[in-house]
Structure formats: structure tokens, C-alpha cells
């Protein structure tokens, strides 16, 4: 499956590309079981050059990707990809994705040359994948229809125009979480597993693609644990905390942001987490992660 430079304009999801590193034995077993399962359904499944599972349904290309970094539970994504075509500009696709992602569990992610519909899940074994597969494919079908409807609505309401810099100064294309102490010494490096008994300050590292060439911008950040937002009394209503992001030039750049938490170890409990960065009414990027 071809990898494209990503532009994330929505909540969830999720925002990170899955690494091409090797799967462990349990993940390889899951992948083999998924291939066999899909072939029994007549979906012509195989493992592609990137190690993802490719299958066909309704003459459309689909993929199942297993994240090597998530082992217990495992993190699996079902994807359907489309080329943009000429009906709408990419700006219309991006704006429509931002709207749909506010209320749909299956997320739309816009890339350089195509867009992707993604159903994401944490599972401990193949049985959970098999149980949810048909339902997740139905969700993808539903979002597919709603997304094109939203594209038509965006074009009708606003026309095909570039996103102005005063609305969105940059887009976040990747988020990695780390665990640091009060002096920003790394306890768990960005992207490494984070363990409950070690947690002090959760710190995000973001990769941004600027729309403006320079400036400092305040983002509102939402942090969720098990789909419940973690709110703080001294932060803006409806958000967990704020962070300043400085843009230096028009090239892609990475920023290590200050952490949120306390100096006592064990500050964050084990569970499934999601972090979202918002600027005004736009979700600039998000990702899911776990604390073990």
C-alpha cells in the first residue's frame, strides 16, 4: 500500500501512520488469521509489500494494518482509500472531513493524493476482529455516503476555496506521546510504551505542515481516557489544557511540547487515551495511545 504524506483535519484518529517495523509472533498470527478469514468471505486477501492485508470488496481496495508498537491489546485499522478525482478541490475534501469526523466513529483522513476511511480498534485476539468486521464495514459504507454528501454541502455553502491562514495556520500530520518528569527528562521516550507506575507528565511531540510561514499560535487540547475528557479547572471550558505552537518557515517541522501532569509517579491510570489539538472550530490532528 502506498504511503502518502498525510494531512489530518479531524479528530481522531487518529493521525499517525503505522510503522513498517516487524510484527511480533502474536501480531503475525493475527494477520494470518485475518487473511484466512477474508479469503473465506471471498474477498481475495493477501499481504502487500508494506506488510498490510489487502482485500477487495465491491471492486474497491481495502487494507487492514496492524500497528507493531501496540502489542497487548493490538491496534488494528481497516481502511478504504479513494483518489480525489476532479469533482471537488482538495480543500473541499478537507473541510468536509473535518465536519464528518465530529460525529462519526469511522474517520476520514485526507492525504496528498487520496483520502482514507478508517475504522480503528484495540483487540486482544482474532475473535474480536471477526466479530466486529461486518459491523465496521457497514460503518465505513455509511461514512462513505455521508462524506460525499458533506462534500456537496461544503461546495454549495462555501465553494471550492483554499483554507485561509487566519482560520488554520498549520495542520498536524503526526503526534507521538512521551512521559517526562518536571525537568522534561524523558522517562518514556516519544512513541515508546508508557506505563502507569512511571507516569508523571504526558508530553506530546507534534509534526506540523504550516499554511503560514511564521507566528505563534495557541491550541486548545482535549485529552480523553476511555472516551471521557480529562478537564482542568484552570483551562478553557471544554478543553483539558492549551499549548503554544511556534511556526518557523513553510517546511514540515517537529515540536516537542511541554507535558501535563504532576511530579508524583503513577499520575495517569492505565487505559485507552486519545489526544486532540484544536484551533478555533478545527481539529488540527489527533491520535490514540495507551498507558499500560
Whether the pLDDT of residue 28 is over 50: the answer is: yes
Check which CATH number belongs to the domain holding 16 and give it: 3.30.1460.10
What confidence tens digit (pLDDT) does each residue in 38-60 have? 999 999 999 999 999 999 998 89
CB count in 10 Å sphere of residue 90: 17
User: Is residue 10 a part of any domain in this protein?
Assistant: yes
> What local confidence, expressed as pLDDT, does residue 282 receive?
79
Q: Which of 127, 158, 189 corresponds to the end of one domain?
A: 158
Banded model confidence at residue 4, pLDDT cuts 50, 70, 90: very low
What average pLDDT does this structure show over 120-144? 94
User: Is residue 94 a part of any domain in this protein?
Assistant: yes
Residues 147, 56, single domain; the answer is: yes
Q: State the alpha helices, DSSP H only, in the chain.
A: 25-40, 90-100, 126-158
User: Is residue 1 a part of any domain in this protein?
Assistant: no
Question: Domain count of the chain?
Answer: 2
Q: What percent of the chain stands above pLDDT 90?
A: 54
User: Is residue 145 a part of any domain in this protein?
Assistant: yes
Residues 211, 141, single domain; the answer is: no
Whether the pLDDT of residue 14 is over 60: the answer is: no
**Rounded distance, CA 13 to CA 78, Å?**
12
**Rounded distance, CA 203 to CA 268, Å?**
12
DSSP codes joined into one string, 244-283: EEEEESSS-EEEEPPPEE-SSTT-S-SEEEEEEEEETTEE
Residues 65, 10, single domain; the answer is: yes
Residues 93, 181, single domain; the answer is: no
Banded model confidence at residue 166, pLDDT cuts 50, 70, 90: low
Residues 186, 220, single domain; the answer is: yes
pLDDT greater at residue 87 or residue 34? 34
Residues 54, 128, single domain; the answer is: yes
Task: Using the structure block, give the residue that is written with the C-alpha cell 461514512.
Answer: 143
User: Is residue 245 a part of any domain in this protein?
Assistant: yes
Whether the pLDDT of residue 229 is over 90: the answer is: no
Closest CA to 10 of 89, 94, 68: 94
Q: Which of 158, 192, 220 corresponds to the end of one domain?
A: 158
Task: Using the structure block, give the residue that is written with the C-alpha cell 478553557.
Answer: 236
pLDDT greater at residue 29 or residue 281? 29
Banded model confidence at residue 10, pLDDT cuts 50, 70, 90: very low
Residues 115, 136, single domain; the answer is: yes
Residues 189, 127, single domain; the answer is: no
**Rounded distance, CA 215 to CA 259, Å?**
22
Q: Which domain holds residue 150?
A: 6-158
CB count in 10 Å sphere of residue 118: 21
- Produce one character per residue of 49-68: b if its CB has 16 or more CB atoms within 10 Å, e if not: eebbbbbebeeeebbbbbbb
User: Is residue 76 a part of any domain in this protein?
Assistant: yes
User: Is residue 164 a part of any domain in this protein?
Assistant: no
pLDDT greater at residue 102 or residue 82? 82
> What local confidence, expressed as pLDDT, does residue 155 receive?
73
Check which CATH number belongs to the domain holding 227 and give it: 2.60.40.10
> What local confidence, expressed as pLDDT, does residue 163 receive?
59
Residues 67, 190, single domain; the answer is: no
What average pLDDT does this structure show over 26-32? 96
> What local confidence, expressed as pLDDT, does residue 157 receive?
62
Mean pLDDT (the chain, rounded)? 85
The C-alpha cell that represents 70 in the structure block: 501496540
What confidence tens digit (pLDDT) does each residue in 238-292 have? 789 999 999 998 888 999 999 999 999 999 999 989 898 988 877 788 888 999 9
Residues 63, 197, single domain; the answer is: no
pLDDT greater at residue 144 or residue 173? 144
Whether the pLDDT of residue 7 is over 60: the answer is: no
Q: Which of 110, 131, 158 corresponds to the end of one domain?
A: 158
Amino acid at each position: 500500500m502506498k504511503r502518502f504524506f498525510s494531512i489530518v483535519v479531524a479528530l481522531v484518529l487518529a493521525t499517525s501512520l503505522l510503522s513498517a517495523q516487524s510484527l511480533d509472533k502474536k501480531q503475525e498470527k493475527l494477520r494470518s488469521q485475518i487473511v484466512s478469514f477474508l479469503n473465506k468471505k471471498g474477498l481475495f486477501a493477501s499481504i502487500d509489500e508494506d506488510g498490510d492485508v489487502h482485500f477487495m470488496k465491491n471492486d474497491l481496495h481495502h487494507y487492514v494494518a496492524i500497528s507493531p508498537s501496540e502489542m497487548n491489546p493490538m491496534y488494528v485499522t481497516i481502511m478504504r482509500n479513494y483518489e480525489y478525482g476532479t469533482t471537488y478541490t482538495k480543500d473541499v475534501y478537507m473541510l468536509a472531513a473535518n465536519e464528518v469526523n465530529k460525529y462519526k466513529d469511522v474517520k476520514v483522513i485526507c492525504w496528498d493524493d487520496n483520502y482514507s476511511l478508517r475504522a480503528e480498534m484495540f483487540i486482544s485476539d482474532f475473535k474480536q476482529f471477526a466479530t466486529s468486521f461486518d459491523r465496521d464495514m457497514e460503518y465505513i459504507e455509511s461514512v462513505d455516503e455521508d462524506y460525499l454528501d458533506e462534500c456537496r454541502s461544503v461546495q454549495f455553502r462555501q465553494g471550492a476555496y483554499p483554507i485561509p491562514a487566519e482560520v488554520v495556520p498549520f495542520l498536524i500530520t503526526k503526534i507521538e506521546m512521551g512521559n517526562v518528569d518536571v525537568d522534561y527528562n524523558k522517562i518514556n521516550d516519544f512513541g515508546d510504551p508508557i506505563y502507569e507506575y512511571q507516569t508523571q507528565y504526558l508530553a506530546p511531540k507534534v509534526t506540523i505542515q504550516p499554511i503560514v510561514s511564521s507566528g505563534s499560535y495557541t491550541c486548545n487540547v482535549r485529552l480523553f481516557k476511555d472516551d471521557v475528557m480529562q478537564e482542568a479547572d484552570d483551562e478553557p471550558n471544554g478543553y483539558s489544557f492549551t499549548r503554544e505552537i511556534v511556526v518557523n518557515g513553510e517546511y514540515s517541522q517537529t515540536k516537542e511540547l511541554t507535558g501535563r501532569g504532576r511530579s508524583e509517579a503513577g499520575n495517569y491510570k492505565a487505559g485507552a487515551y486519545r489526544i486532540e489539538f484544536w484551533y478555533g472550530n478545527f481539529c488540527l490532528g489527533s491520535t490514540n495511545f495507551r498507558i499500560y
